[in-house]
Amino acid sequence: MADLHVPSGTPVPGPSVRPRRLRATPALRRMVAETTFEARQLVLPLFVREGLDEPRPIDSMPGVVQHTRDSAKRAVAEAAELGLGGVMLFGIPERKDASGSGGLDPAGILNVAIADAVAEVGEDLTVMSDLCLDEFTDHGHCGVLDERGRVDNDATLAVYAEMARAQADAGVHMVGPSGMMDGQVAVIRDALDVVGHPDVSILAYSAKYSSAFYGPFREAVDSSLSGDRRTYQQDPANALEGVREALLDVEQGADIVMVKPAMAYLDVVRQVRDAVDVPVAAYNISGEYAMVEAAAAHGWIDREAAILETLTSIRRAGADIILTYWAAEAARLRR
């Protein structure tokens, strides 16, 4: 067969399918975007420290502070004005002990911070609280210890029940048990129901991994931890275990299940989302935040673009709700 000769200047047909057509303008890209997030899907973690006269910056988390009660109330009010889904409160007491008694004290910093927040915003914002002992124990573990220095699962459950009642009495809308004790959701649900708080919901930290990315958080809460939490937090190698934990929590009464951390566990977020029939949250944690902030401070990445890309990736993996220290800023960027 003779060679096909194409006269000079004759148009050469290109591909008929051109996905790039839908990327041509910002308006087109917005119109066909498969994944978005809104302010209502973001939850802002807040650290409230007892005894402060003014907010204290957290060195490893630029832009994040330990709040006074007054500055926390202002942050909560701003969160409501921005249309965020909620705030997650963490308390930092002046004194700690082996049993974490400050977490049960109605006058303890976390419980008064809950009351402050609810008084500030009522039902315009979901006020959530961390239900764990690690901020309140002098050994830094998430539960009480037995005579051999190990976390006693069942003894800890009894304390969690009391802590749940204290937080509910303070007015919290949703508790977030984060200690990874077996059976914690069932015990907390029963404790809340028995004392007349059936409407307080549970955000279960279902797949919480023993992660290297928690370091800045431990500065944020002045953690007293020595050793690690590998005997109760999950092994980073295991995804199916995370799904199993989520299914157990749903069975026990969890209203929302969560995967923590988010970025290194996006596959687990997707598997959990596919397995459960309740909303799924993911916690964009302190180390993930700090890495982006550090790289941006060096001029290595575009900070705002990296924030939006990070949060979009977590939504794309299947999270309905994202806990993130960028919540307020991201909501403003989305306006």
| CA 150 centroid distance within chain | 26
How many other C-beta atoms lie within 10 A of the C-beta of residue 3? 5
Q: What is the pLDDT of residue 212?
A: 87
Percent residues over pLDDT 70 in the chain: 95
Please determine, for residue 181, whether its predicted confidence score (pLDDT) is greater than 70. yes
Positions marked active-site: 208, 260
Please determine, for residue 143, whether its predicted confidence score (pLDDT) is greater than 60. yes
Domain spans of the chain? 36-258+324-334
**pLDDT average, residue stretch 136-152:** 86
Task: Compute the distance between CA of residue 259 and CA of residue 322 in angstroms, rounded to an integer.
Answer: 10
Q: What is the pLDDT of residue 9?
A: 67
Q: What is the pLDDT of residue 99?
A: 86
Task: Compute the distance between CA of residue 180 and CA of residue 206 in angstroms, rounded to an integer.
Answer: 7
> Please, which pLDDT band fits residue 329 given cuts at 50, 70 and 90?
very high
- Which residues, 6+ apart, have CB-to-CB distance to 100 below 8 Å? 133, 134, 135, 136, 137, 144, 159
Q: What is the pLDDT of residue 249?
A: 97
**pLDDT average, residue stretch 140-155:** 87
Eight-state DSSP code of residue 13? P
Task: Compute the distance between CA of residue 173 and CA of residue 166 in angstroms, rounded to an integer.
Answer: 12
Residue count of the chain: 335
Percent residues over pLDDT 90 in the chain: 80
Q: Which of 72, 103, 102, 325 is nearest to 217 (CA)?
A: 325
User: Which of 4-13, 169-178, 241-250, 312-321 comes out lowest in average pLDDT?
Assistant: 4-13
Question: pLDDT tens-digit profile of 122-138?
Answer: 999 999 999 999 889 98
Beta bridge partners of 322: 42, 282
Q: What is the pLDDT of residue 312?
A: 97
Positive/negative CA dihedral, 59, 62, 66, 68: positive
Residue 171 is which amino acid? G
Mean pLDDT over the full length of the chain: 93
> What CATH number belongs to 36-258+324-334?
3.20.20.70
Positive/negative CA dihedral, 116, 54, 81, 287: negative
Q: Give the E-state strand segments of the chain in sequence order.
A: 42-49, 56-57, 65-67, 86-92, 126-131, 174-177, 201-208, 256-260, 280-284, 321-324
- Which residues, 6+ apart, have CB-to-CB distance to 274 below 8 Å? 318
Question: pLDDT tens-digit profile of 20-34?
Answer: 999 999 999 999 999
Please determine, for residue 5, whether its predicted confidence score (pLDDT) is greater than 70. no
Task: Compute the distance between CA of residue 154 and CA of residue 230 in angstroms, rounded to an integer.
Answer: 17
Please determine, for residue 331, whether its predicted confidence score (pLDDT) is greater than 60. yes
Instruction: Report residue 327: phi and psi, to 5°.
Output: -55, -50
Q: What is the pLDDT of residue 228?
A: 72
**Contact at 8 Å (CB) between 145 and 153?**
no
Buried b or exposed e, range 276-311, using 16+ CB within 10 angstroms:
beebbbbbbbbbbbbbbbeebeeeebebeebbbebb
Find the helix packing angle between 153-170 and 109-121, rounded to 10°. 40
Q: Which of 85, 169, 88 is nearest to 124 (CA)?
A: 85
Q: What is the pLDDT of residue 225?
A: 67
Question: pLDDT tens-digit profile of 47-96?
Answer: 999 999 999 999 999 999 999 999 999 999 999 999 999 999 999 999 99
Question: pLDDT tens-digit profile of 253-311?
Answer: 999 999 999 999 999 999 999 999 999 999 999 999 999 999 999 999 999 999 999 99
- Which residues, 6+ apart, have CB-to-CB distance to 158 below 8 Å? 187
Q: What is the pLDDT of residue 317?
A: 98
> The tokens 């993930």 sit on which residue?
288
Residue 5 is which amino acid? H
pTM higher than the cut 0.85: yes
How is residue 309 written in tokens?
A: 């890309």
Beta bridge partners of 260: 208
